[in-house]
Amino acid sequence: MSSSASARAAMAIHPTLPSLPIKLRTENVGMAFLREGKTLPVLEDINLEVGNGEFVCLLGPSGCGKSTLLSAMAGFLRPTSGAILIDGEIVRGADPRRIFVFQERGVFPWLTVEGNIGFGLRKLPSKERAERVNHYIQMVGLEGFGKSYPHELSGGMKQRVEVARALAVNPDVMFLDEPFGALDSITRLVMRSELLRIWQAERKTILFVTHDIDEAVQLADRVVVMSARPGRIQQVVSIDIPHPRDISSPRYLELRDGILGQIGLAHRL
């Protein structure tokens, strides 16, 4: 049963994808690192198309190259082979139109919350800048903390600062690398639903890395399942459940179990 479900899932195409213009495309992307004189292949033959405004989760075991792929898409790393295109142009470096959200580690400790969120808005006149900063402080629920320094905030609040800092520059694409991995499970759930709310309001293209199957199935339009190193795309699963998702619905469980089966895990422990 689970194999037929996964087969169905594998064939399913995202219902809205054909109508979405392609935002990001990877063509035979391969990545290898040189380590102690040997080449270590990390990614092999990654072919992926992501539609404009789509929410895609990259799911895979630790060390399979998810962060590497995301860094390459963001322009921090050059792929060893193949090409990554955004809006039809080859990615050649970091760009403010596509922001990478690190775990809360990326917040600058020497700037206040306001300073962090306004970091990418240096070119705006100060009044406009303050307005935007305020807008996003409110959007992520940090009212009253504008003058606080990151060390005065909890992990979840720092993560909100990072997300707000990214949103403030109004990027087309956001890359999130296990953004909620360091949070406690309750905060993580809250942050997930807030990210969905923001995504539905702003319709960015989102590439979201996780190793948590439930997180992927709760959030994504499509889940890209990757195999262990060297990372390849094993399967792409469309999650055809409208938001807000009922995580006890048969379809949710079917899709989740299909992915579990695909990566060789029964859902019974």
| Contact criterion met (CB below 8 Å) for 76 and 229 | no
Stretch that binds Mg ion, among 34-42, 60-68, 158-166, 193-201 (CB under 5 A): 60-68
Pick 33 or 108: Cβ nearer another protein: 108
- Does position 105 interact with ligand ADP (CB under 6 A)? The reply is no
CB-based contacts of 207, cutoff 8 Å, min separation 6: 24, 50, 56, 58, 70, 73, 173, 174, 175, 176
User: Which tokens go with 11?
Assistant: 């064939």
Sequence-ordered strand ranges (E) for 52-180: 55-59, 81-86, 89-90, 98-101, 173-177
Nearest alpha-carbon partner for 78 in 40, 38, 37, 32: 32
- Does position 210 interact with Mg ion (CB under 5 A)? The reply is no
- Does position 71 interact with Mg ion (CB under 5 A)? The reply is no
d(CA 233, CA 205): 20
210: partner contacted, choices ligand ADP, Mg ion, another protein, none (Cβ within 5-8 A by kind):
none
- Determine the longest span between alpha carbons in the chain, in angstroms: 60
- Does position 169 interact with another protein (CB under 8 A)? The reply is yes
Whose tokens are 């102690």? That residue is 36
- Does position 227 interact with Mg ion (CB under 5 A)? The reply is no
For ligand ADP, what does the binding mask look like between residues 200 and 229, x meaning CB under 6 A?
A: -----------------------------x
Pick 8 or 147: Cβ nearer another protein: 147
Q: Which of 8, 105, 135, 251 binds another protein (CB under 8 A)?
A: 105
Pick out residues in 29-88 that bind ligand ADP (CB under 6 A). Answer: 33, 35, 40, 42, 60, 62-68
Pick 6 or 67: Cβ nearer Mg ion: 67
Pick 18 or 93: Cβ nearer another protein: 93
Q: Which of 41, 52, 149, 196 binds another protein (CB under 8 A)?
A: 149
Query: CB atoms < 10 A from the CB of 145, how many?
Result: 18
For ligand ADP, what does the binding mask look like between residues 168 and 187, x meaning CB under 6 A?
A: --------------------
Q: Which of 16, 131, 147, 152 binds another protein (CB under 8 A)?
A: 152
205-210 vs 55-59, strand pairing mode = parallel
Q: Which of 40, 90, 94, 201 binds another protein (CB under 8 A)?
A: 94
**Would you call 180 helix, strand, or coil by DSSP?**
coil
CB-based contacts of 232, cutoff 8 Å, min separation 6: 43, 44, 45, 46, 226
Nearest 10 degrees: Cα torsion 104, 57, 214, 234: -130
Pick 14 or 66: Cβ nearer ligand ADP: 66
- Does position 218 interact with Mg ion (CB under 5 A)? The reply is no
Pick 67 or 205: Cβ nearer ligand ADP: 67
| Contact criterion met (CB below 8 Å) for 199 and 154 | no
| Contact criterion met (CB below 8 Å) for 137 and 164 | yes
Q: Report the interface residues with ligand ADP, using CB under 6 A.
A: 33, 35, 40, 42, 60, 62-68, 229
Q: Report the interface residues with Mg ion, using CB under 5 A.
A: 67
